[in-house]
Amino acid sequence: MTLRRTVLAAAAAVALCAPAVAQAQAPQFFRIGTGSAGGTYYPIGGIIANAISCPPGAPCGTAGATAGVPGLVAVAQATQGSVQNVNLIQSGNAESAFSQSDVAHWAFTGTGLFEGRPKLERLRFIAHLFPEHIHAVVRRDSPIRGFEDLRGKRIAIGLQASGARIGSELILEANGLRAGRDYTAEFLNQAQGTERMQDRGLDATFTVVGYPAAAFTEFCARTGCRLLPIEGPNAQRVIERAPFYGTGVIPRGAYEGMEADVPTLTVGAVWLVRDSVPEELVYNITRALWSDVTRGLLDRGHAKGREIVRENALQGRGVVPFHPGAERFYREAGMLN
């Protein structure tokens, strides 16, 4: 009887302690809104999510182990891109997300694309990641050689809620082309657009993405492609309307069959976070992002990962405030006064 009481008492004690143990071991989930699977945001998001994660029970910060945040499980979520991403952060349906720097500015200030809408004032800045390049892609055997040849054509300009769509429309309008009047707009991502071009159901695909984008890599290798140059007065008209854009180049060899550099426009890809995420968590995430272990993962994981460097971390912030956790990291690192 005494033994039975002892066993029952021990069982009761374990039962009482179980919730506390489970709570102590429960992972903390952290969502990163990215983009479509055929673009650059999604694979880069997966690499970063892996880098900053260190699930309960995993070794953290030891030799050969992750440099992630103890107890954190970060998840890269596929989305429609920048416009949806800033709304996900504002609504609390994602803790963080990637965005074009122009979309982030417009969202936070309620200007441009977000004119007449409530300001998305819960956005906070973690880091600039990499430059994104405007891609204007046609089939290699297409007769289209420049923007003047796009009149009356069917063009994929990005998903409805994406920054790619905004960039595409700006560039086409700067060249005198308006959707529904001068061309037929198809709201497709780059993977859907290249699939339609493969079947000759589409004439061109426009998007804003870091090269090399998986959808274009596959399309150019399978079907053959050309990229339309965006330069000179055409480029300057866009920059005058949206000064977040700059000039850049998609280099020869970025896609199969490219025999020369193609001038184009660029915009920064930035990582944003909700203001309600705890300071200590964002501090540790920022530290993990710029660790030597993450450096190796980025270098090996994606061609664009090599362009994510700490020296450029503060570019493209504009008026979006730092998250206090990220700001503390950069001050300690001597990158802010």
* Domains along the chain with CATH numbers: 27-130+270-332 (3.40.190.10), 133-268 (3.40.190.10)
Backbone angles phi, psi at 300, to 5 degrees: -90, -25
Q: Are 112 and 193 in contact (CB under 8 A)?
A: no
Question: Could you give the CA distance from residue 202 to residue 189 in angstroms, rounded to a whole number?
Answer: 13
Q: Is 63 a residue whose pLDDT tops 70?
A: no
Q: What is the pLDDT of residue 25?
A: 61
What pLDDT is stored for residue 3 in this prediction?
33
Q: Name the band, by pLDDT with cuts 50, 70 and 90, for residue 72.
A: very high
Checking if the pLDDT of 95 tops 80, the result is yes
pLDDT band at 18 (very low <50, low <70, confident <90, very high): very low
Q: Indicate the pLDDT class of residue 239, thresholds 50, 70 and 90.
A: confident
Q: Which whole-number Å values give the CA distances from 207 to 179, 259, 273, 275, 308, in the listed order?
A: 15, 21, 24, 29, 20
Is residue 233 scored above 60 in pLDDT?
Answer: yes
Reported as a single tens digit per residue, the pLDDT across 133-143 is 999 999 999 99
Structural Rg of the chain based on CA atoms: 23
Record the tokens describing residue 331, joined without a space.
């001050």
* Banded model confidence at residue 1, pLDDT cuts 50, 70, 90: very low
Residue position matching structure tokens 């184009």: 264
CA 111 to chain centroid? 21
Euclidean distance between the first and the last CA atom of the chain, given in angstroms as a whole number? 71
Which residue, 91, 105, 80, is CA-closest to 161? 80
User: Which of 128, 138, 186 lies closest to 162 in space, CA to CA?
Assistant: 186
Query: Average of pLDDT values for 11-24?
Result: 40
CA-to-CA distance for 149 and 140, rounded, in angstroms? Answer: 14
Contact predicate 196/202, CB 8 Å: yes
**pTM of the prediction?**
0.75
What single-letter amino acid sits at 251? P
pLDDT of residue 17: 40
Mean pLDDT taken over the chain: 88
Counting beta carbons within 10 angstroms of the beta carbon of residue 168, is it exposed (0 to 12), middle (13 to 18) or buried (19 or more)? buried
- Report the alpha-carbon distance of residue 202 to residue 16 in Å, rounded: 64
pLDDT at res. 279 = 98
Question: Among the listed ranges 194-198, 212-216, 241-245, which one has the minimum average pLDDT value?
Answer: 241-245
Residue 264 has pLDDT above 60, yes or no: yes
Residue 60's pLDDT is 81
Q: What is d(CA 72, CA 155) in angstroms, rounded to the nearest whole number?
A: 42
Mean pLDDT of the region 212-240? 92
